[in-house]
A and B are shown apart, each in its own frame.
Chain A
Amino acid sequence: MSALRNRTAEPVPGFAEALERLRGEAAGSSGRALEQRNAAFERFQALGVPTPRVENWKYTNAASFANRPFALAPRGTVDPDLVIPHFAGGHKARRLILVNGRTVPQFSHLGGLPAGMTVRPLAQVLAETPELVDRTSVNDEPEHSFEALNRALVEDGAWISLEDGVALDEPLQVISILTEAESAFMAHPRHVIRLGRNAKLRLILTTVALGQAESLLNQVETVEIADGADLTIDRTLEQGQGRSAITRSRFVLGSRSRLQQTTASIGGSLIRHEMEARLRGTHSEAILNGLMMPQGTEHVDTLIRMHHEMPDCQSDQFYKTVADDRGRAVFAGKIFVHKDAQRTNSYQKNDSLLLSDDAEIDAKPELEIYADDVKCSHGATCGDLDPASLFYLRSRGMDEALARSMLTFAFTGEVLERIADESVDHIVRRMILSRLPGGERLAELG
């Protein structure tokens, strides 16, 4: 067993202390909830913190950012003026706001939801009707360290449920804010999202960090999309210096359902987004788009597991990467076509721009296929900006820095186009331009 031990690191005691604290607080949690926490924590300890010898963590050293003495997040508040710039989805959008992993009802705006749609703090649901969570979540024993840890230390999150046929016309935005703090802290929010048959929802998931702090955000989302339902997600993952965020999203799709997600991972010492999509009904479709843009010493990591479990489904992964300075971007996407998933159509593309010799790009586009009547392909490219295009702009009198910024911005355009919500699109464009030299001039050019 020594080989196995090499592959995981012993978790720091901070996690156990956090669990102790939650046990002490036990207010409102039933005995069973505590049992579940304990079991999940045991699982986490058994799994350990993965080292780079674990294949899925080959390019991201989890122990270096996660295995630190974090305390549970303080109950913080935020200045609303700092949050408003992150509002998206128009003035009619509904909003649920979490600060340091806990919902803050007074900031949220959830009025006028259609009948059959519920948006509640997960803590409330867990306290009152825990069986609801058991029944609907994509539940099994977590095989993933951080998911097990999340289950052990979860305090709150979003509970979003749409009954059959219910549709919300306006977007729903969930903003997860981490505050500044003196000492290092962690938050483990969990979102449970459930769309009934033919339900329809546009979701905007915004993750931001305000001010300075060392923090770990370990978020887990379980998303069920029933037959014929349609879910669109626009997601921004933004963290600051010294902050790390792991987001793990698990999707299960029913027949003729559809998922479209576009993620912008921009800024943060470490951002890792893991997605697992299981196409469990025929004729379903999953589209996962994304943009990663590490600069400075940032590290951005995306891991996708696309499981085609039933015939006649389609999937598409489209990720673009721009790595500058000493930034590092990792893309590990996998298409898994199970035995019965005949007539699968699956596509994956990862294009990368490497703008500095100190930056690094690691790509691992995988296919694992057990059905013969399929069309699966993937492509990955990596290189610098095209010298001919650069020359063209230079010959028209544009200075090199601006020309490079313009081409880089154009490179990201293909992903930006796929963002469903216009206001998110604006926010992401603003984020990108603020990171490019001469970005304000580009913004003026429109």
Chain B
Amino acid sequence: MATALETVREYTGGEYKYGFVTDIEADIAPKGLSEDVIRLISAKKQDPDWLTEMRLAAYKRWQTMTEPTWQKVDYEPIDYQAISYYAAPKIKERPKSLDEIDPEIRRTYEKLGIPIKEQEILAGVAVDYVFDSVSVATTFRKKLHELGIIFCSISEAIQDHPELVRKYLGSVVPAGDNFFAALNAAVFTDGSFVYIPKGVRCPMELSTYFRINEKGTGQFERTLIIADEGSYVSYLEGCTAPQRDENQLHAAVVELIALDDAEIKYSTVQNWYPGDSEGKGGIYNFVTKRGACRGKNSKISWTQVETGSAITWKYPSCILQGDNSVGEFYSVAVTNNRQQADTGTKMIHIGKNTRSRIVAKGISAGTSDSTYRGLVKVLKSAEGARNYTQCDSMLIGDKCGAHTVPYIEVRNRSAKCEHEATTSKISDDQLFYCRQRGISEEDAVALIVNGFCREVMDELPMEFAVEARKLLAISLEHSVG
């Protein structure tokens, strides 16, 4: 296997293809966090009083909390006073059409291979671009508006639909939930808001591209999606970020609420800058994502392809409250070089006949570490609950680690839980078989890895699946043998 190891080392030098910095003027708050800074953010965002108070309460709470250390990741301590908590591209007025957008920004997206125009046309995707912290363009809004769907930035929603925001914001992830959620609640500047009215099936995939751009700024997105009775929505989130030398903190909060018979499908492709081969400069991705299946027969499905970030700390969860509700979690986490990922899910079964399904695939290469950490909890009330969990890890090279930390807690005897996990490397037999048929080693590995992840990839919407496969190939390019 000497050759294989050499190949691994030779390949792990793969550079981040999406690394560049866009020069645009930005409006930045002074570094550090204090009540004044929060009031400044609140003023800039023209928050109503209740929100300012919510932020301040969250800030007070945050000051009493300590950063979690239970996760299996290592990083230099974060200096929360060295971060600027607000950065907005300087745009005097909101653009009325895409043509009015700063050409610098548009060029950035073009480099990423997602020209807005094309994106618009491609399968009718409406995109809420987030550039740093303020959304700069929202497309297809009119079409959605006709159906009564609200799809806008959360700042707009706070201004235009305060009753909805106030009712649901923080109802799934309360400010005191965890350290990073509290920080987010105090300083969030923007994010997306979606409301699907009763009985409406959203005709297109809603999508946001997140970008982190301004130097030294943390990004604190807040996403809130509400699917009213009998509605359906599929939401896509994708990320790439410019190359950086400083670590950048990203602490987002995503809340999903599905009422009776509603379904939310939330897909993520995450490809933030993972740091260079020494692990320097990558993004810290500390995200709290949680969905509440409040209504009966509701369904929330998380699909994620995690290839980027220096550190990923994220557990998209489902609270299965309504009877017959369904939670799903499909995940592919790829780590290379010095990346560290500690990711998984929580499925909390409360309602009767609730079902959950977890399929997690971890691929570690280089000197990276990847951990699946998950909880399946069946409460006493969850008559007939059903869970199936499958976690598979693949190791590429002998310097990486793969870990599985599942928790299973069952308090109802009619519940059925199954958990399976395996860890192995790419089978020599499979490789040999491919090589024997003239497939190059790299292609063979890509083929095998794609097969390994297929169950998850199939869950992605078509437009995303294409990009995800590309990302997977890029992340593993130069890492396999």
Residues of A at under 8 Å CB distance from B? 3, 55, 339, 342, 352, 354-384
Check if B415 sits within 8 Å of A366, measured CB to CB: no
Check if A383 sits within 8 Å of B405, measured CB to CB: no
- For B406, give its contact among A55, A358, A366, A369 (CB under 8 Å): A366
Bound CA–CA A357/B385 (angstroms): 13
Check if A383 sits within 8 Å of B415, measured CB to CB: yes
Jot down 5 A-B pairs with beta carbons below 8 A, ordered by A.
A362-B407, A372-B398, A373-B398, A377-B420, A379-B421
> Knowing A55-B70, A377-B420 touch, does A367 contact B404 (C-beta < 8 A)?
yes
Bound CA–CA A377/B412 (angstroms): 26
Check if A382 sits within 8 Å of B415, measured CB to CB: yes
Chain A residues lying within 8 Å of B421, measured Cβ to Cβ, are: 365, 367, 377-379
Among B130-138, B169-177, B279-287, B422-430, which stretch is in contact with chain A? B422-430
Chain B residues lying within 8 Å of A364, measured Cβ to Cβ, are: 405-408
Check if B424 sits within 8 Å of A375, measured CB to CB: yes
Check if B419 sits within 8 Å of A373, measured CB to CB: no
Chain A residues lying within 8 Å of B58, measured Cβ to Cβ, are: none
Bound CA–CA A355/B416 (angstroms): 12
- For A365, give its contact among B380, B395, B406, B413 (CB under 8 Å): B406
- Please give me the residue from chain A that is nearest to B386 by CB atom: A383
Bound CA–CA A124/B410 (angstroms): 47
Bound CA–CA A297/B156 (angstroms): 55
Check if B417 sits within 8 Å of A381, measured CB to CB: yes
- For B423, give its contact among A55, A376, A383 (CB under 8 Å): A376
Min CB distance, B409 to chain A, in Å? 5
Bound CA–CA A364/B422 (angstroms): 15
Min CB distance, B18 to chain A, in Å? 28
> Besides A368-B403, A369-B403, 14 other CB < 8 A contacts?
A354-B412, A354-B415, A357-B411, A361-B408, A362-B409, A365-B421, A366-B404, A367-B393, A371-B395, A372-B396, A377-B420, A379-B419, A383-B417, A384-B414
**Among B408, B420, B422, B425, which residue has the most Cβ atoms of chain A within 10 A?**
B408
B258 within 8 A of A: no
- For B413, give its contact among A3, A359, A368, A372 (CB under 8 Å): A359
Min CB distance, B309 to chain A, in Å? 21
Chain B residues lying within 8 Å of A383, measured Cβ to Cβ, are: 413, 415-417
Bound CA–CA A415/B196 (angstroms): 53
Min CB distance, A100 to chain B, in Å? 36
Min CB distance, B362 to chain A, in Å? 10
> Knowing A352-B410, A382-B408 touch, does A372 contact B419 (C-beta < 8 A)?
no
Check if A376 sits within 8 Å of B424, measured CB to CB: yes
Residues of B at under 8 Å CB distance from A? 66, 70, 380, 393, 395-398, 400-425
Chain A residues lying within 8 Å of B408, measured Cβ to Cβ, are: 361-365, 380, 382
Chain B residues lying within 8 Å of A373, measured Cβ to Cβ, are: 398, 425
Bound CA–CA A367/B72 (angstroms): 13
Chain A residues lying within 8 Å of B413, measured Cβ to Cβ, are: 354-357, 359, 383-384
Bound CA–CA A365/B66 (angstroms): 28
A-B contact count (CB 8 A): 118
Min CB distance, B234 to chain A, in Å? 32
- Please give me the residue from chain B that is nearest to A381 by CB atom: B418
Check if B420 sits within 8 Å of A379, measured CB to CB: yes
Check if A367 sits within 8 Å of B70, measured CB to CB: no
Check if A342 sits within 8 Å of B416, measured CB to CB: no
Min CB distance, A388 to chain B, in Å? 13
Min CB distance, A347 to chain B, in Å? 10
- Please give me the residue from chain A that is nearest to B400 by CB atom: A372
Check if B398 sits within 8 Å of A378, measured CB to CB: no
Check if B404 sits within 8 Å of A374, measured CB to CB: no
Chain B residues lying within 8 Å of A342, measured Cβ to Cβ, are: 398
Check if B417 sits within 8 Å of A382, measured CB to CB: yes
- Please give me the residue from chain B that is nearest to A55 by CB atom: B70
Check if B380 sits within 8 Å of A357, measured CB to CB: yes
Bound CA–CA A164/B421 (angstroms): 40
Min CB distance, B298 to chain A, in Å? 24
Check if A374 sits within 8 Å of B425, measured CB to CB: yes
Check if A377 sits within 8 Å of B410, measured CB to CB: no
- Please give me the residue from chain A that is nearest to B1 by CB atom: A373
- Please give me the residue from chain A that is nearest to B412 by CB atom: A357
Check if A382 sits within 8 Å of B416, measured CB to CB: yes
Check if A374 sits within 8 Å of B409, measured CB to CB: no
Check if B401 sits within 8 Å of A370, measured CB to CB: yes
Chain B residues lying within 8 Å of A369, measured Cβ to Cβ, are: 393, 395, 401-403, 423
Chain B residues lying within 8 Å of A362, measured Cβ to Cβ, are: 407-410
Bound CA–CA A379/B393 (angstroms): 14
Bound CA–CA A376/B317 (angstroms): 26
- Please give me the residue from chain A that is nearest to B420 by CB atom: A379
- Please give me the residue from chain B that is nearest to A363 by CB atom: B408
Chain B residues lying within 8 Å of A368, measured Cβ to Cβ, are: 401, 403-404
Check if B409 sits within 8 Å of A360, measured CB to CB: yes
Bound CA–CA A370/B403 (angstroms): 8
4 pairs of A and B residues whose beta carbons are closest in the complex: A372-B395, A383-B416, A367-B404, A380-B419
- Please give me the residue from chain A that is nearest to B424 by CB atom: A375
Chain A residues lying within 8 Å of B423, measured Cβ to Cβ, are: 367, 369, 374-377
Bound CA–CA A46/B120 (angstroms): 63
Bound CA–CA A378/B406 (angstroms): 11
Min CB distance, B67 to chain A, in Å? 10
Bound CA–CA A383/B417 (angstroms): 6
- Please give me the residue from chain B that is nearest to A334 by CB atom: B405
Min CB distance, A199 to chain B, in Å? 34
Min CB distance, A348 to chain B, in Å? 9
Check if B406 sits within 8 Å of A361, measured CB to CB: no
- For A372, give its contact among B380, B397, B407, B417 (CB under 8 Å): B397
Bound CA–CA A354/B413 (angstroms): 5
Bound CA–CA A366/B72 (angstroms): 13
Min CB distance, B64 to chain A, in Å? 11
Check if B405 sits within 8 Å of A363, measured CB to CB: no
Bound CA–CA A402/B379 (angstroms): 28
Bound CA–CA A373/B423 (angstroms): 9
Chain A residues lying within 8 Å of B70, measured Cβ to Cβ, are: 55
- Please give me the residue from chain A that is nearest to B381 by CB atom: A357
Min CB distance, B196 to chain A, in Å? 36
Chain A residues lying within 8 Å of B66, measured Cβ to Cβ, are: 3
> Knowing A3-B66, A376-B422 touch, does A361 contact B400 (C-beta < 8 A)?
no
Bound CA–CA A79/B424 (angstroms): 55
> Knowing A355-B413, A384-B414 touch, does A367 contact B380 (C-beta < 8 A)?
no
Bound CA–CA A377/B401 (angstroms): 15
- Please give me the residue from chain A that is nearest to B419 by CB atom: A380
> Knowing A354-B413, A355-B413, A357-B412 touch, does A363 contact B419 (C-beta < 8 A)?
yes
Chain B residues lying within 8 Å of A378, measured Cβ to Cβ, are: 404, 419-421
Chain A residues lying within 8 Å of B398, measured Cβ to Cβ, are: 339, 342, 371-373
Bound CA–CA A366/B70 (angstroms): 15
Check if B425 sits within 8 Å of A377, measured CB to CB: no
Min CB distance, B307 to chain A, in Å? 19
- Please give me the residue from chain B that is nearest to A348 by CB atom: B421
Min CB distance, A291 to chain B, in Å? 18
Bound CA–CA A423/B267 (angstroms): 58
- Please give me the residue from chain A that is nearest to B364 by CB atom: A372
Min CB distance, B5 to chain A, in Å? 10
- Please give me the residue from chain A that is nearest to B402 by CB atom: A369
Bound CA–CA A354/B409 (angstroms): 11
Min CB distance, B21 to chain A, in Å? 36
- Please give me the residue from chain B that is nearest to A340 by CB atom: B398
Bound CA–CA A182/B329 (angstroms): 55
Chain A residues lying within 8 Å of B411, measured Cβ to Cβ, are: 357, 359-360
Bound CA–CA A407/B79 (angstroms): 59
Bound CA–CA A79/B105 (angstroms): 88
Bound CA–CA A379/B418 (angstroms): 7
Bound CA–CA A372/B409 (angstroms): 30
**Among B422, B423, B425, which residue has the most Cβ atoms of chain A within 10 A?**
B423
Chain B residues lying within 8 Å of A372, measured Cβ to Cβ, are: 395-398, 400, 425
Check if B422 sits within 8 Å of A377, measured CB to CB: yes
Bound CA–CA A375/B393 (angstroms): 10
- Please give me the residue from chain B that is nearest to A359 by CB atom: B413
Check if B425 sits within 8 Å of A367, measured CB to CB: no
- Please give me the residue from chain B that is nearest to A351 by CB atom: B418
